[in-house]
């Protein structure tokens, strides 16, 4: 019996070592899906060593902020931390709390759904996120008891199985994505389509691919749900301010037809946020309503024309805030280069 137990224990130990090696190898595989870009974004956040303007939110940030332009106006290095709205509001707040340092400026730009109640991560996206970006795992450990149990029961095993399968395939490419930034991939939504500051640039030459004027979505002012988002943002902002970090809120862009249809709701949401948030709101929703042909393929994704217009607004809004003594930005684009 002792021999059997010893042999069984040895067998299990060997399998654990093999499985662990597979999983470790899988995390080193070169992943080039859209969500894998989070690996590069947290590397930028981890390595920044001077006051930095960090823009956080879903894909409206990834597609709709031009970091070089923002950096030129604001006299600070810029990191675009935007990726996908379905990761949830708390995801981006946790990233801010993990990586912001004294002197940094955080601009939160949640999609409207994240401000009006959609604060939790989408289960299916969460699974693909962990598979493509293993570093994201820790941001899903703050789930409530029921959500965590469901994640373990329904998803954790499949995630582990996927990692083991990937780990059995030897990597053939370096994990350095910029070595392959000229690669031609069939999917425009790729990790390779982000620039060195975290902006998605793969859509710059594509104009408008869908009629966003026909897209719709319910936007309503439900104070109880909005206040849940307010509580989360205020708690994060308080913690960041204690570390010498300034926090601001900006709005996700809206197609003009959609804004005009739901103007009363947008105005009510804005009034509630201005009243209840402990952070400055950079502009009114009406300032981010843009013609339908300023969008790429959804109501949140601006094309290059829309991106540049929206970035100028954010830059000007931050300059206006700096005049109140919150932090220093250049008053004209040439100031940075003239020093």
Confidence (pTM): 0.79
Question: Do the Cβ atoms of 282 and 322 come closer than 8 Å?
Answer: no
Domains of the chain, CATH where assigned: 52-119+196-331 (3.40.50.1110)
> Residues for the chain: how many in total?
339
Question: Do the Cβ atoms of 53 and 77 come closer than 8 Å?
Answer: yes
Of 211, 209, 206, the C-alpha closest to 193 is: 206
Q: Is the pLDDT of residue 119 over 60?
A: no
Q: What are phi and psi of 57, to 5 degrees?
A: 165, -170
Nearest-angstrom CA–CA distance, 128 and 95: 18
Q: Which residue has the higher pLDDT, 48 or 212?
A: 48
Question: Do the Cβ atoms of 108 and 56 come closer than 8 Å?
Answer: yes
pLDDT in tens, 158-194: 555 554 444 444 444 444 444 444 444 445 788 999 9
pLDDT in tens, 64-95: 999 999 999 998 999 999 999 999 999 999 99
């Amino acid at each position: 019996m002792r021999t059997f137990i010893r042999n069984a224990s040895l067998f299990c130990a060997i399998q654990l070592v093999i499985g662990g090696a597979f999983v470790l190898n899988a995390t080193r595989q070169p992943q080039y899906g859209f969500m894998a870009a989070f690996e590069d974004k947290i590397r930028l956040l981890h390595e920044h060593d001077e006051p930095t303007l960090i823009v956080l939110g879903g894909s409206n940030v990834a597609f709709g902020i031009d970091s070089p332009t923002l950096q030129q106006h604001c006299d600070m290095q810029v990191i675009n931390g935007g990726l996908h709205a379905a990761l949830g509001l708390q995801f981006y707040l946790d990233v801010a709390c993990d990586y912001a340092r004294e002197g940094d400026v955080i601009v939160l730009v949640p999609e409207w759904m994240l401000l009006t109640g959609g604060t939790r991560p989408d289960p299916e996206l969460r699974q693909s996120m962990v598979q493509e970006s293993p570093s994201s795992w820790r941001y899903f450990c703050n789930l409530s008891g029921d959500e965590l149990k469901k994640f373990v029961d329904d998803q954790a095993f499949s995630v582990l199985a996927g990692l083991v399968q990937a780990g059995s395939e030897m990597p053939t490419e370096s994990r350095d994505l910029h070595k392959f930034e000229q690669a031609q991939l069939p999917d425009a939504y790729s990790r390779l389509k982000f620039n060195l500051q975290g902006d998605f640039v793969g859509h710059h030459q594509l104009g408008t691919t869908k009629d966003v004027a026909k897209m719709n979505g319910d936007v309503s002012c439900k104070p109880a749900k909005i206040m849940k988002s307010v509580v989360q943002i205020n708690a994060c902002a308080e913690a960041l301010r204690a570390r010498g970090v300034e926090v601001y809120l900006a709005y996700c862009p809206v197609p003009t037809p959609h804004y005009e249809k739901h103007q009363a709701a947008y105005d009510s949401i804005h009034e509630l946020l201005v009243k209840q948030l402990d952070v400055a709101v950079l502009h009114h929703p009406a300032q981010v309503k843009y013609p339908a042909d300023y969008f790429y393929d959804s109501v949140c994704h601006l094309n290059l024309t829309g991106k540049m217009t929206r970035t100028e607004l954010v830059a000007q809004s931050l300059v206006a805030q700096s005049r109140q003594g919150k932090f220093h930005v250049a008053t004209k684009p040439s100031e940075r280069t003239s020093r």
